[in-house]
């Protein structure tokens, strides 16, 4: 008997798990599933990307729903809210896989694509709805769906929800669903803002912690290279070529920076594509597919666009620019070293990012060894004043740059930019 059978899951779910080739649950699954099945309690789970958290809420959610008779018109009984289109699609795929032997229907809705096929699915009846906030509220406002029968409410990657300015959307959605429901919140970090959100949504929740708070995956080797700002691109090219890296996820702070870096990598005959909020859903899907299939060596991404990307066993992650929000460093390097595989996370740090590095070291309670590559030495005369935040994400609660639709999705009111997600 494998460990999944010890968690109290029914035969239909165990068969689906077996079909997918999984044998042993991850830490978050082992901790969360029995709590949700046995105690019928609200839950806060601290789990980083790649820890199996999606199955941690999907499996018990499906079992709870399958126990009750299916209503004739199949109203939405479980709502999973995610911050990005990619994550919504991946959660939906998981729901479909795990529910293949159950009489349950699922649908996913997100912006950036035609809403009519999504409306058609909703009209046919849906037990589980996976959604991004903007499209969910749009279709609800148009009368295409009702949330009055929701029994289970899942807030996935809650910390990123707040980062992207979805707090008002979450409050609005809460007003549309019944007050008597089971609430599940998953987050990689447990900041003051997340604790405050949990207090407003959850009733006496059980806390499950799969990874120690504000720490990084142990399997990841973290390397810091001090380098002059203008030499970053050439150093990255050297590292990729000398190391013969075939699959590299590179993070930049801005969309413009991602596009420029891609052009320079392509000029060096390193295949690369960018993924960020200004890209169409089709372009983002093609870039991700090409990266997974190894048709593209380098995927350059901004923090928001990369959130929730499911790229198993990723060998290399590079912080071309350090994030100004230290928690994002944890999210970024969580893309590598998955499932116990060894991963390497490198950061190229110039003088103006010194304070960002210090913040990351305080958050992770680590002191990183700094390396210098000959020929790419940092500029001893460069200013250590951090760059202006106009093009990058702001700290939580800082608000969105006014009327700047090309800017990042920081805290504050939701704009039309976010409604398309």
Q: Which tens digits make up the pLDDT trace of 211-226?
A: 544 445 455 788 999 9
- Set out the domains of the chain in order of their start, with CATH numbers: 3-209 (3.40.50.300), 220-371 (3.40.50.300)
Residue 408, pLDDT > 60, answer no
pTM check: above 0.75: no
Those residues with Cβ within 8 angstroms of residue 23's Cβ, 6 or more apart along the chain or in another chain: 2, 3, 4
- Highest mean pLDDT out of 58-62, 290-294, 300-304, 411-415: 58-62
Report the chain's mean pLDDT, rounded to a whole number.
Answer: 84
Q: Which two tokens stand for residue 205?
A: 């929740």
Pick from 56-65, 210-219, 337-346, 401-410: least confident: 401-410
Closest CA to 250 of 324, 340, 344: 344
Q: What is the DSSP letter of 388?
A: P
Give residue 190's pLDDT band: very low, low, confident or very high (50, 70, 90).
confident
Lowest mean per-residue pLDDT among 71-75, 350-354, 390-394: 390-394
Note the pLDDT of residue 211: 56
CA distance 337 to 322: 19
| Predicted confidence band of residue 6 (pLDDT cuts 50, 70, 90) | confident
Q: Report yes or no: 153 and 61 within 8 Å, Cβ to Cβ.
A: no
Residue 213: per-residue pLDDT: 42
Q: Whose structure tokens read 């003051």?
A: 192
**Mean pLDDT lowest among 164-173, 227-236, 348-357:** 164-173
Mean pLDDT of 370-374: 91
Q: Which two tokens stand for residue 94?
A: 């998981």
216 or 9: which leads in pLDDT: 9
CA distance 277 to 309: 14
pLDDT beyond 50 at 350: yes
Higher pLDDT pick, 204 / 49: 204
- Whether the pLDDT of residue 327 is over 60: the answer is yes
User: Which residues sit opposite 299 in a β-bridge?
Assistant: 249, 273
pLDDT at 208: 87
Q: What is the 3-state composition of the chain as percent helix, strand, coil, each rounded to the nearest 5? A: 40, 15, 45
What's residue 122's pLDDT? 94
DSSP letter (8 states) at residue 26: -
| Sheet with strand 206-209: strands edge to edge | 106-109, 128-131, 78-81, 152-155, 182-187, 43-46, 206-209
Cα angle, residue 331 at apex, residues 330 and 332 outer, rounded to 5°? 95
> Among residues of the chain, what percentage have pLDDT more than 70?
86
Q: Could you tell me where the beta strands, DSSP code E, fall in 200-310?
A: 206-209, 220-226, 248-251, 272-275, 298-301
The residue that leads in pLDDT, 389 or 239, is 239
Q: 253 and 323 in contact (C-beta within 8 Å)?
A: yes
Cα dihedral 60, 62, 67, 70 in deg (nearest 10) = 160
Do 133 and 163 meet the contact criterion of CB atoms below 8 Å apart?
A: no
* pLDDT mean over 328-339: 74
Higher pLDDT, 125 or 285: 125
Q: What is the pLDDT, as a whole number, of residue 112? A: 81
Phi, psi of 38 (to 5 degrees): -90, -35
């Amino acid at each position: 008997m494998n460990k999944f059978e010890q968690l109290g899951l029914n035969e239909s779910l165990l068969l689906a798990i077996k079909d997918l080739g999984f044998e042993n649950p991850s830490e978050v699954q082992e901790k969360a599933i029995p709590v949700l099945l046995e105690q019928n309690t609200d839950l806060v789970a601290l789990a980083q990307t790649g820890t199996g958290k999606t199955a941690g809420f999907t499996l018990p959610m499906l079992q709870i729903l399958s126990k009750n008779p299916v209503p004739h018109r199949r109203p939405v009984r479980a709502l999973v809210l995610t911050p990005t289109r990619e994550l919504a699609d991946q959660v939906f795929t998981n729901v479909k896989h795990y529910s293949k032997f159950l009489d349950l229907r699922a649908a996913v809705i997100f912006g950036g694509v035609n809403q009519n096929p999504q409306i058609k699915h909703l009209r046919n009846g849906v037990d589980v709805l996976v959604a991004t906030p903007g499209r969910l509220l749009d279709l609800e406002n148009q009368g295409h769906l009702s949330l009055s029968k929701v029994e289970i409410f899942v807030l996935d990657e809650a910390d990123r929800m707040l980062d992207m300015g979805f707090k008002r959307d979450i409050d609005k959605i809460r007003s549309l669903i019944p007050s008597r429901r089971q609430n599940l919140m998953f987050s990689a970090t447990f900041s003051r803002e997340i604790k405050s959100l949990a207090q407003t949504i959850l009733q006496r929740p059980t806390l499950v912690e799969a990874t120690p708070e504000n720490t990084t995956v142990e399997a990841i080797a973290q390397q810091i290279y001090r380098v002059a700002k203008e030499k970053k691109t050439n150093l990255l090219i050297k590292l990729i070529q000398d190391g013969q890296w075939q699959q590299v996820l590179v993070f930049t702070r801005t969309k413009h920076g991602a596009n420029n870096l891609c052009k320079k990598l392509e000029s060096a005959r390193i295949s690369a594509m960018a993924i960020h909020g200004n890209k169409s859903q089709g372009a983002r899907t093609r870039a991700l597919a090409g990266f997974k299939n190894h048709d593209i060596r380098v995927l350059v991404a901004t923090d928001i666009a990369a959130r929730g990307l499911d790229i198993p066993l990723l060998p290399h992650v590079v912080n071309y620019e350090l994030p100004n929000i230290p928690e994002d460093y944890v999210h970024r390097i969580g893309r590598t070293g998955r499932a116990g595989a060894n991963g390497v996370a490198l950061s190229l740090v110039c003088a103006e990012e010194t304070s960002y590095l210090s913040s990351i070291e305080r958050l992770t309670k680590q002191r990183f060894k700094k390396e210098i590559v000959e020929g790419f030495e940092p500029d001893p005369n460069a200013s250590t004043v951090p760059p202006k935040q106009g093009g990058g994400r702001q700290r939580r609660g800082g608000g969105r740059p006014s009327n700047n639709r090309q800017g990042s999705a920081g805290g504050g009111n939701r704009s039309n930019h976010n409604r398309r997600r």
